Amino acid sequence: MSTNKNSQTERRIIYLVLLIAVALPLIFPIGWKTDVSNYTKMAWDLVQSTPDSAVVLFSFDYDPSTLTEIQPMAEAMLEHSFSRNQKIIAIALWPQGVQMADQAFTEVLKKYPNKKYGVDYVNLGYKVAGIVAIQAMGKSMPEVFPTDQSGTKYEDIPMLKKVKTLKDVGYICSLSSGTPGIKEWVMAARDPLGTPVTGGTTAVSAPGLLPYVNSQKQLYGLLGGLKAASEYETLIHKIGSATIKMDAQSIAHLLILVFILIGNVKAFVTKKRSEQ
Amino acid sequence: MSGFMATFGLWLSVFFTLSIFSFLYKDNPFYKLSEQIFVGLSAAYWLVYLYYSVMVPNLFNKLFTDFKGNLILLIPTALGLMMLLRLIPKAQWLSRYPIAIMIGTSAGINMVRYAKTDLLGQISATMINPFASDNVVTVIGNILLIVGTICGVYFFYFSKKQEGIRAVPSKLGIWFLMISFGASFGYTVMARISLLIGRLEFLLKDWLHIIK
């Protein structure tokens, strides 16, 4: 009983210390630099090497539960894309992705107030059916999205005049936190049509998608979690929310390492004592 | 009025956030209340959202205002109604047909895609010349990729007892798998901390205005 109570108390102390350790760097940012990984660099290279004024597609396949990790990636990648004068089509395979796209555009347009809706970017809204919808977009975009979110006909949107299928877009960037998401884009767009696919995902999902970044270029780089978002911000020379949050992330990781060390030492000493 | 609603919404969010955090101390009525409200709200939200954004534009509008003899629309309507028959015990068996169609269609659509992307694509990605690069780190990485893939797959080969020399690649495979699980765990920890950062940012920024 007393061991149980002891471990309960220890657990609460750990939670409290972790809470303080995460809160303090948010209040007093440290400004640690982040090294850029190859996976993030590859995604950046794809955006960078796509010709100016190409039409590109951003798919917002996440909802507010993963906002902390994915929204900074979305903002950084949109900003990079706008800086290259690319024209952005936003769609969502998740219902709440539409609002996520609107939020990201609102943030990025503060830096690019001259970008015009319908000319430089458009939000076509949500489409149900995941991989089937992607497959259909490979045949005809206007059939899948007859109108944009506000009801304007596909044919009446100036930037979409030459975009008939997914083959006509420069690259696809899926910001996803599950299914449908990056994997479906690789399966239904990259492999059958050859359109390059890149994207960002939560840290939990990243290991499952990393094998697609391979010699076959099934996926052009991958942004995994807050760390990759901060790396992308570094590449576009922006001190954004991910960069600030990475201080808290790093402190938390250091603390967890210390806790693991203490736990192991404690377990070792207890074992020694019981042997004696 | 909108200002009041915004403030009210903010305080509600703060209440629910703190209530969920309170579980870290111990299970309590605040946590249970928040959990149940969350589940109920989510279900209601999805029902309304899917009805208005999927069923109304794709089916009901076309059926009742723009039918134009489009008989194919009657098929999903019938299948949908048959699915709802699960609620009537005597006619429950009819719901098996739409379920069977759904499973069959999904399997049909996915079979080719998975075979191309996950099987052929991944095998092709492993069939590389490890020494093609001038960079030593890349060469080592390529060798590890090939050896790791072969040993990892070999670990799951159970048709013959793995003993003696046959146990070597299997043991190597376990090491590769363990390292990969370790990396996944690291990523998971990062994701969980990110969630905590997100909530703390909300409390410190939107509620307490301590950070900008």
3-state SS, chain B, equals CHHHHHHHHHHHHHHHHHHHHHHHCCCCHHHHHHHHHHHHHHHHHHHHHHHHHHHHHHHHHHHHCCCCCCHHHHHHHHHHHHHHHHHCHHHHHHHHHHHHHHHHHHHHHHHHHHHHHHHHHHHHHHCCCCCCCCCHHHHHHHHHHHHHHHHHHHHCCCCCCCCHHHHHHHHHHHHHHHHHHHHHHHHHHHHHHHHHHHHHHHHHHHHCCCCC
pLDDT for A94 equals 93
Which pTM value belongs to this model? 0.89
> Among B117, B119, B145, which would you mutate to test the A interface (most chain A Cβ atoms within 10 Å of its Cβ)?
B117
Chain A nearest-CA distance from B181, in A, is 9
Residue B191, sorted as left (phi over 0), alpha (psi -120 to 50) or beta, turns out to be: alpha
Chain B nearest-CA distance from A32, in A, is 17
Contacting residues of B for A149, CB less than 8 Å apart: none
Nearest CB neighbour to B200, from listed A26, A188, A214: A26
Chain A nearest-CA distance from B94, in A, is 24
Chain B nearest-CA distance from A110, in A, is 17
pLDDT for B57 equals 83
How far apart are the C-alpha atoms of A2 and B58, rounded to whole Å? 61
How far apart are the C-alpha atoms of A231 and B78, rounded to whole Å? 51
Given a contact cutoff of 8 angstroms between Cβ atoms, the answer to whether A201 and A177 are in contact is yes
Given a contact cutoff of 8 angstroms between Cβ atoms, the answer to whether A188 and A80 are in contact is no
pLDDT for A152 equals 93
Contacting residues of B for A183, CB less than 8 Å apart: 117
pLDDT for A2 equals 61
pLDDT for A3 equals 64
Contacting residues of B for A213, CB less than 8 Å apart: none
Contacting residues of A for B128, CB less than 8 Å apart: 215
The 10 Å CB-count burial string (b at 16+, else e) for A12-46 is eebeeebeebbbebbeebeeeebeeeebbebbbeb
Q: A26, B204: Cβ pair inside 8 Å?
A: yes
Q: A204, B109: Cβ pair inside 8 Å?
A: no
How far apart are the C-alpha atoms of A31 and A174, rounded to whole Å? 29
Contacting residues of B for A227, CB less than 8 Å apart: 190
Query: Does this complex have an ipTM over 0.85?
Result: yes
Q: B201, A245: Cβ pair inside 8 Å?
A: yes
> Among A103, A204, A219, A220, which would you mutate to test the B interface (most chain B Cβ atoms within 10 Å of its Cβ)?
A204
Nearest CB neighbour to B117, from listed A26, A191, A207: A191
Nearest CB neighbour to B125, from listed A207, A215, A245: A215
pLDDT digits (tens, 9 = 90+) for B111-143: 989 999 999 999 999 999 999 888 999 999 999
Residue in A259, A255, A199 with CA at minimum distance from that of residue A225: A199
How far apart are the C-alpha atoms of B85 and B81, rounded to whole Å? 7
Contacting residues of A for B56, CB less than 8 Å apart: none
Contacting residues of B for A256, CB less than 8 Å apart: 189
Contacting residues of B for A8, CB less than 8 Å apart: 26
* Nearest C-alpha in B relative to A249: B193
> Among A39, A214, A243, A253, which would you mutate to test the B interface (most chain B Cβ atoms within 10 Å of its Cβ)?
A214
How far apart are the C-alpha atoms of B143 and B153, rounded to whole Å? 16
Q: A249, B25: Cβ pair inside 8 Å?
A: no
Q: B180, A68: Cβ pair inside 8 Å?
A: no
Given a contact cutoff of 8 angstroms between Cβ atoms, the answer to whether B190 and A253 are in contact is yes
Considering only CB atoms, which residues of chain B are within 8 Å of chain A?
A: 24-26, 46, 49-50, 53-54, 58, 109-110, 113-114, 116-117, 121-122, 124-126, 128, 180, 183-184, 187-191, 193-198, 200-201, 204, 210-211
Contacting residues of B for A252, CB less than 8 Å apart: 193, 196-197
pLDDT for A236 equals 95
Per-residue pLDDT of chain A (276 residues; tens, 9 = 90+): 566 777 888 889 999 999 999 999 999 988 888 899 999 999 999 999 999 889 999 999 999 999 999 999 999 999 999 999 999 999 999 989 999 999 999 999 999 999 999 999 999 999 988 899 999 999 999 999 999 988 899 999 999 999 999 999 999 999 999 999 999 999 999 999 999 999 999 999 999 999 999 999 999 999 999 999 999 999 999 988 899 899 999 999 999 999 999 999 999 999 999 988
Q: B109, A69: Cβ pair inside 8 Å?
A: no
Interface A-B: count of C-beta contacts within 8 A: 115
Is the C-alpha dihedral spanning B155, B160, B163, B165 positive or negative? negative
SS (HEC) of chain A: CHHHHHHHHHHHHHHHHHHHHHHHHHHCCCCCCCCCCHHHHHHHHHHHHCCCCCEEEEEEECCHHHHHHHHHHHHHHHHHHHHCCCEEEEEECCCCHHHHHHHHHHHHHCCCCCCCECCCEEEEEECCCCHHHHHHHHHCHHHHCCECCCCCEHHHCHHHCCCCCHHHCCCEEEEECCCCCHHHHHHHHHHHHCCCEEEEECCCCHHHHHHHCCCCCCCCCCEEHHHHHHHHHHHCCCCCHHHHHHHHHHHHHHHHHHHHHHHHHHHHHHHHHHHC
Per-residue pLDDT of chain B (212 residues; tens, 9 = 90+): 778 999 999 999 999 999 999 999 999 999 999 999 999 999 999 899 888 888 888 888 888 887 777 888 899 899 999 999 999 999 999 999 999 999 999 899 889 899 999 999 999 999 999 998 889 999 999 999 999 999 999 999 888 888 888 899 999 999 999 999 999 999 999 999 999 999 999 999 999 999 87
